[in-house]
Amino acid sequence: MKINFILHNPEFGPGSLRYIFSVLHLSACLLLLVSLSACSSQKDRVFSKTRVLMDTAITITVVAASQEGAEKAIDSAFREIEKIGKLSDFYSSGSEISLINKKAGISGVKVSPDVLQLVEKAVYVSEKTGGAYDMTIGSVSGLYDFHKKVLPGKDAVRKGLRLVNYRDISIDRSVSSVFLKKEGMLIDPGGITKGYAADKALECLKKEGIASGIISVAGDIRAFGSKPDGRPWNIGIRNPRAESREDDVMATIELMDAAISTSGDYERFFFSDNVRYHHILDPRTGRPASRCISVSIIADEAAYTDAFSTGIFIMGPEQGMKVLEEMKFNGVIVDNRGRIHMTPGIGGRIEFKNSP
């Protein structure tokens, strides 16, 4: 019996040219395979942290190579959100927003660049929505209490409505001041701060070298970059009429470098005589807007999606779709009969799970 016969086999042994060729060929194929898989799987991982700030739950998710790097970036973003929350707190007497409100009809108030930008963006959205979104609604919204189920009387609402007009906000950029022209006027930045905070948090994360992630400030979401596997982020749109945890999500939508916000009548509400009273008030009537039950808007900045989703919710589906078209935004509107209106731009990116 010949041991090592194959070594001496000229036709097919490790010494033969054909053998060497086939081994080389195989190695080349293998190398290609290995390098392909190595490229697609980076060492990046997803880190996520939730905190309660601005009276709401905020979750920041980032893709990073190390936990230390991720936590450093997330913490700096949280500090930024905390700062904006303090500046713009409607209820705290020391905030810049409260100062503006206190000096209404008296004098302008010098404010920080953040509050100036916030008010400017709010006024811009008011102009584009024909006053449907209006941050001066504070004089009416302060009359409602959604925890204690307090409904204001008609007279009080009528009185409050007289002070609602975004045109009475006067901004002086040169000295960075905001002046409310009528005494008693109240600006409530609740419909734009969360989105604005998400935008600023994103700047923080980018400064810390983060290339992708999600900032979710109570449903105002700013996503950037992609998941570690290169796929876009998957954002769920809450089902406005969910009955259990199973049908919690109405649809999922893929998002890469964009913001999304949803305004719904299900967030803060109570029933009185079988009527749903929710927190999105129509500046023209002072009553909860009733044309829609949920409006989701996709745009570049979360400050805009936040405020436009409120404005379009109030305007209703027909006018709302026109605004979306004009602004070149995308959106999904569920009207008060449960019908879904959608801009053509999100056709392929949305997947419906549960009908409202």
Partner 1 sequence: MQLQDKYRIAILSAYALGLHGFESLLPSPIPWLRLGLANIITITTLFLYGTGAAVTVTLIRVVLGSLFAGTFPGPAFILSLGGGLASALVMGSIFSVAPRLFSAIGLSIIGALFHNLVQLVIAYFLFIQKIEAVLLITPLMVLLGTLTGTANGAVSGLLIKNLKISGQKVQNVD
Partner 2 sequence: MNLRILLNTTTPADKVLFSLLIIVSLSGYLFADKLLPENPSVRIEVNGKPVYILRVTENRTVPVKGPHGYTYVEIKDQRVRISGSPCANKLCVQQGWISSGALVCLPNRVVVTIGKQTEENMPVDAITG
Question: Is residue 184 within the footprint of partner 1 (CB under 8 A)?
Answer: no
Q: How far is the CB of 5 from partner 1 (least distance, A)?
A: 5
User: How far is the CA of 179 from the CAs of 36, 92, 121, 168, 303, in angstroms?
Assistant: 60, 19, 15, 8, 21
Q: Which chain residues interact with partner 2 by CB under 8 A? A: 45-53, 55-57, 59, 61, 67, 78, 147, 214, 216, 219-221, 223, 227, 233-238, 240, 245, 248-249, 252, 260-264, 266-267, 294, 296
Minimum CB distance to partner 1 smaller for 38 or for 52: 38
Q: Which does 38 bind (CB under 5 to 8 A by kind): partner 1, partner 2, none?
A: partner 1
Q: Which does 343 bind (CB under 5 to 8 A by kind): partner 2, partner 1, none?
A: none
Q: Which does 223 bind (CB under 5 to 8 A by kind): partner 1, partner 2, none?
A: partner 2
Question: Is residue 91 within the footprint of partner 1 (CB under 8 A)?
Answer: no
Single out the segment in contact with partner 1 by CB under 8 A; choices: 34-42, 135-143, 153-161, 265-273: 34-42
**Given its phi and psi angles, is residue 113 left (phi above 0), alpha (psi -120 to 50 degrees) or beta?**
alpha
Question: Is residue 28 within the footprint of partner 1 (CB under 8 A)?
Answer: no
Q: How far is the CB of 119 from partner 2 (least distance, A)?
A: 24
The size of the interface with partner 1 (CB under 8 A), counted in residues, is: 20
8-state DSSP, 227: -
Question: Is residue 2 within the footprint of partner 1 (CB under 8 A)?
Answer: yes
Dihedral sign, CA of 72, 76, 81, 83? positive
Choice from 25, 41, 91, 276 touching partner 1 (CB under 8 A): 41
Q: How far is residue 167's CA from residue 126's CA, in Å, rounded to a whole number?
A: 9
Dihedral sign, CA of 203, 209, 214, 218? negative
Q: How far is residue 235's CA from residue 213's CA, in Å, rounded to a whole number?
A: 12
User: How far is the CA of 229 from the CAs of 39, 40, 226, in angstroms?
Assistant: 10, 7, 8
Within 13 Å and on the Cβ side, how many CA atoms surround 15? 8
Minimum CB distance to partner 1 smaller for 31 or for 57: 31
Tokens (6 digits) for 193: 């701060």
Choice from 7, 20, 57, 275 touching partner 1 (CB under 8 A): 7
| CA 224 from centroid of its chain's CA atoms | 11
User: How far is the CA of 326 from the CAs of 7, 129, 133, 262, 298, in angstroms?
Assistant: 78, 11, 16, 19, 14
Q: Interface residues with partner 1 (CB under 8 A)?
A: 1-7, 9, 11-14, 26, 30, 33-34, 37-38, 41, 43
